[in-house]
Structure 1
Amino acid sequence: MKNIFNKNTKLFFLSLLLSVSACEDFIEVEVPNHKITSETVFSSDETAHSAMTGIYNRLFNASFSNGGSRSVTFLAGLTADNFITTSTTVQIMEFGENAIDASNSWNLDLWAGCYNMIYMVNAILENSINSNALSEKTKKSLEGEAKFIRAFTYFQLINLFGEVPLLLSTDYHKNAITPRNSITAVFDQIIVDLEDAITLLEKDYPDAERTRPNIYAAMALLARTHLYLKNWEQAEYYSSQVINQEVHYRLLKNPNDVFLANSEEAIWQISPLGWGSSFTHTNEGNLFIPSTTKTPIAVLSESFLNQWSDQQDLRWINWVESFTSNNEILFYPHKYKIQYDASGGKINEYSMVMRLAEQYLIRAEANVHLGNLQNAIADVDKIRERAEIVLISEYNPHITQSELLETIFKERRKEFFAEWGHRWFDLKRSGKSSVLSQKPNTDWQETDIWYPIPANERLKNPKLTQNSGY
């Protein structure tokens, strides 16, 4: 993995600050020959926070997190059964056919994008902690934000690749020969990072922008983590902590308002400010929405469309749209409404990462396993009420535990399609991934629940073992 780590700390922090200055004039630092050392970056609170802003701008551009064609949102959605691709690009087709080759460069981009982000936040952690120039408040903020992003990134890695190297420093000599750690060990570190972040972050969002995590973003991710680990009581507790923050969050009545910048349903978003140019649209909008000159590289699958028996559901009405191609009606995700905008004006949509609706469904699922079916029904009905469809409490108040669990997973599929691979992760953690054998043009094998460890990385690090089936 040596190739994905930048040995030159000066250039690393220079690139971070350039990614900031390309968007806004946050700082003015005079350093000879355009070189910025880590000492310069962490010599004041202002420059240190600017480096952290550079991390958020990188999230908008990193392959795994940018919402584009090489992101978790697209590739994991394609690996599951929500999308079918219109592309003839071999790398894309392999994801759709569940036949990913270890040499697939798009798979490598997922891996490398994650580890680049981990390296960056590790550098932030090391340099802020060791700085004598920063205020304690700034140190606390940077540590909380960096640990949150590291936990979030590792969450993506282990749900895509299974066992992965757990890298907690910028020592590239050590990192380049680190073997894979167990899923349990990585989850343990995710929990430690998030619990630390909860003690370090503020309750309010900095500058009223939901692009930097607060304490409740860390709690929301911790709730999801405990759900995946089947720690039902903890999942219920942390999701409740977020849901109860009515001063910050509420389910928006109009589904078209959900994905707007700083919407009250948003727990954490990524801003298109990372474009560093006049573009103000999200990558998701650009990817999924057709234009007069472009057919999207993926459309919604028949399997997904068959879930919508009630087409009065506001999610169907507002979040699914159609177009005609070669006399065939095709459907695409329409959560984001802006396909392209180069006006350089106000940014109207942010890329959604976590939102309140998920916390209701996390708490509902946890309560089913805890035997609190009425509480679970109430939370699912919150989502169904927003969609303006019949409530469980009205049509099936005595629903069984297994029926309610099935309903929750169906609601998750409808609610979070085209968002961060939720369907793919849900199928795997529920033990129902074999349903993917019914996909058209698939080569599904049970070993396909994990993506292959990229062949290029295994050549560089002989201690990286391969997942079964590759």
Structure 2
Amino acid sequence: MTCFSCEEFVEVDPPNSRVVSAVVYQSENLATAAVDGIYHRLFNFSGFASGSVNSITVLTGVSSDELDLYNTLAFPEYPFFYDNTIAPDSSINLSIWSSAYNIIYHCNTVLEGLAASHAISETLKQQLKGEVIAIRAFTYFNLVNLYGGVPLILSTDYTTNALASRDSKEKCYQKIIVDLETAVDLLAPEYRDGIRSHLNRYAATALLARVYLYQEDWSLVEEKVSEVINTSSQYTILNNLDDVFLANSEEAIWQLAPVGTTGHTNDGAAFIIRSVNYFLNPVALSDGLITAFESGDHRFEHWITTVGEGSNLAYYAYKYKIRFTIDPPSEYSTVFRLAELYLIRAEARVQLGDLSGAQDDINVIRGRAGLSFTNANTSKDLLDAVRKERRIELFTEQGHRWFDLIRTGKASDILSVKHGSWSETNEKYPIPEQELAKNPNLTQNEGY
């Protein structure tokens, strides 16, 4: 696993990592900066959650039926993701795995530093610990849904970590749930510094609801979603679709803020196609996604636009309006937002037999999109309606389409039509060959 030293956390320059830890966790400002450094890594261009061309958002969109290839001259590995023939030695696949375990390593480093520190107030220590534990759980959630069971790395002991074997998917989920429940208890309901690029109690609760959705624990899904929707005045469904992805949007539950000299999101850079430098955009929206929109859907008007004409016409995601800027950021990359919670609860309510409640949740989303209320009134029709709304509402956000196809058992039905080489073993990405070479205790996924 790829690991990095503590020196990369904050801009301090002692001679070795032990001194760094001693310095960082004797100062509340530096400890806070260490945690902020983890958020910065999540946004980093090569990060799995970053929204960039190397991220889960883009790569799983290519692997599913959400994105078509637009210009892969600078992206020679993309056709293999599109055809679901990813090679174990893929450098892009390795970057997903490595960036995720890099985040986990830094989370473990901070947790150990906070535990050993006596110089940080208990209130701040609990807040920072809650944020870091939730980030680690979020990272493992993504790893498990890409690769299946993965090694649970919970310390900075490199000797042990380097030879860690894969834990079962069930054990990984158990740890994810424990971490998120702990985070909910530790975190304040308010955002630290009032910024939604930090995690708060409701963000951890929302992540827990997403996990319970994947575990099909419908009662807990409804409980956790309702806790966020009913008890927090911080969140609202925004009527203006152009405001949804703005920095600190009232619909946002958790966002990633651009860092450094960059004032734009990686999502905007990845998806917005311009005639100049068009070769930097490897993907466009698929024909299947475009035709899935109903006539008059405001989301099509506000979140999709085109480039070219005639046979060269391409549709691209326009949720983020800024492709490049060095001005202060006005948009943040959205990880979780309130609309997803309504759709999560709608699905749970169908499974619990509360069909009218499910209709109400679906209609919150359809109403904002300018569509008539759903006429679905059976369990099957309502589940189909939820899944359609998830496809339309959450496209090009954090891999939802790929993960939804797999968790609902629809991947083979839909992706075998996309190309004849589809196999159920393609539902998991390969464990990177480079990691297998370093760790003899790792095993490869079936089919690779």
TM-score w.r.t. the length of structure 2 is: 0.96
Distance in 2 (alpha carbons) for counterparts of 1:33 and 1:132: 21
The aligned residue for residue 129 of structure 2 is: 143
Give SS of 1:173's match. helix
Tell me the CA shift for residue 92 of structure 1: 1.2
Distance in 1 (alpha carbons) for counterparts of 2:85 and 2:47: 20
Are 1:284 and 2:264 an aligned pair? Answer: no
Are 1:338 and 2:317 an aligned pair? Answer: no
Distance in 2 (alpha carbons) for counterparts of 1:315 and 1:36: 52
Would you say the 8 A contact 2:210–2:221 is kept in 1? yes
Aligned length: 442
Would you say the 8 A contact 2:6–2:109 is kept in 1? no
Would you say the 8 A contact 1:67–1:74 is kept in 2? yes
Are 1:320 and 2:304 an aligned pair? Answer: yes
The aligned residue for residue 386 of structure 2 is: 408
Are 1:81 and 2:65 an aligned pair? Answer: yes
Distance in 1 (alpha carbons) for counterparts of 2:66 and 2:59: 11
Are 1:210 and 2:196 an aligned pair? Answer: yes
User: What are the Cα deviations for residues 318-365 of structure 1, in whole angstroms up to 9, with x where unaligned?
Assistant: 0010111674211000000001112xx331000000000010011100
Give SS of 1:244's match. helix
The aligned residue for residue 373 of structure 1 is: 355
Are 1:152 and 2:161 an aligned pair? Answer: no
Distance in 2 (alpha carbons) for counterparts of 1:301 and 1:167: 37
Distance in 2 (alpha carbons) for counterparts of 1:170 and 1:17: 18
Give SS of 1:456's match. helix
The aligned residue for residue 433 of structure 2 is: 455
- Kindly provide the amino acid, as one letter, of the partner of residue 96 in structure 2: L
Tell me the CA shift for residue 419 of structure 1: 0.3
Would you say the 8 A contact 1:160–1:450 is kept in 2? yes
Residue among 331, 336, 357 paired with 1:354: 336
**Percent identity over the alignment?**
45
Distance in 2 (alpha carbons) for counterparts of 1:36 and 1:56: 23
The aligned residue for residue 444 of structure 2 is: 466
Would you say the 8 A contact 2:83–2:421 is kept in 1? yes
Residue among 7, 10, 27 paired with 1:44: 27
| Equivalent residue runs for 1:252-291 within 5 Å | 252-273=238-259, 276-277=260-261, 279-291=262-274
Residue among 260, 265, 286 paired with 1:301: 286
The aligned residue for residue 417 of structure 2 is: 438
The aligned residue for residue 6 of structure 2 is: 13
Q: Which moved more, 1:301-310 or 1:168-177?
A: 301-310
Would you say the 8 A contact 1:14–1:35 is kept in 2? no
Tell me the CA shift for residue 247 of structure 1: 1.4
The aligned residue for residue 134 of structure 1 is: 120
Distance in 2 (alpha carbons) for counterparts of 1:132 and 1:265: 37
Give SS of 2:233's match. coil
Give SS of 1:77's match. helix
Distance in 2 (alpha carbons) for counterparts of 1:264 and 1:125: 30
Distance in 2 (alpha carbons) for counterparts of 1:400 and 1:326: 41
Change (3 A) 1:203 1:33: closer
Distance in 1 (alpha carbons) for counterparts of 2:182 and 2:257: 25
Give SS of 1:353's match. strand
Give SS of 1:253's match. coil
- Kindly provide the amino acid, as one letter, of the partner of residue 292 in structure 2: Q
Would you say the 8 A contact 2:264–2:325 is kept in 1? yes
The aligned residue for residue 95 of structure 1 is: 81
Give SS of 2:93's match. helix
- Kindly provide the amino acid, as one letter, of the partner of residue 430 in structure 1: T
Distance in 2 (alpha carbons) for counterparts of 1:325 and 1:209: 41
- Once superposed, what is the RMSD of the aligned Cα atoms? 1.6
Are 1:107 and 2:74 an aligned pair? Answer: no
Tell me the CA shift for residue 309 of structure 1: 3.2
The aligned residue for residue 60 of structure 1 is: 43
The aligned residue for residue 402 of structure 2 is: 424
- Kindly provide the amino acid, as one letter, of the partner of residue 247 in structure 1: S
The aligned residue for residue 9 of structure 1 is: none
Would you say the 8 A contact 1:13–1:36 is kept in 2? no
Distance in 2 (alpha carbons) for counterparts of 1:34 and 1:109: 25
Would you say the 8 A contact 2:425–2:446 is kept in 1? yes
Distance in 2 (alpha carbons) for counterparts of 1:30 and 1:383: 50
The aligned residue for residue 24 of structure 1 is: none
Would you say the 8 A contact 1:14–1:36 is kept in 2? no
Give SS of 2:313's match. strand
Q: Which moved more, 1:128-137 or 1:332-341?
A: 128-137
Would you say the 8 A contact 2:6–2:17 is kept in 1? no
Distance in 2 (alpha carbons) for counterparts of 1:290 and 1:152: 30
User: What are the Cα deviations for residues 70-109 of structure 1, in whole angstroms up to 9, with x where unaligned?
Assistant: 1010001111100011214331111111110101110000
Distance in 2 (alpha carbons) for counterparts of 1:36 and 1:66: 31
| Equivalent residue runs for 1:226-237 within 5 Å | 226-237=212-223
Would you say the 8 A contact 2:196–2:253 is kept in 1? yes
Give SS of 2:10's match. helix
Q: Which moved more, 1:298-307 or 1:218-227?
A: 298-307
| Equivalent residue runs for 1:188-207 within 5 Å | 188-207=174-193
Give SS of 1:37's match. helix
Change (3 A) 1:43 1:401: same
Tell me the CA shift for residue 254 of structure 1: 0.8
The aligned residue for residue 249 of structure 1 is: 235
TM-score w.r.t. the length of structure 1 is: 0.91
Q: Which moved more, 1:80-89 or 1:444-453?
A: 80-89
Distance in 1 (alpha carbons) for counterparts of 2:16 and 2:316: 49
Distance in 1 (alpha carbons) for counterparts of 2:135 and 2:402: 21
Distance in 1 (alpha carbons) for counterparts of 2:16 and 2:191: 36
Tell me the CA shift for residue 34 of structure 1: 11
Q: Point out where structure 1 has 5 or more consecutive residues left out of the alignment.
A: 7-11, 19-28
Tell me the CA shift for residue 31 of structure 1: 4.7
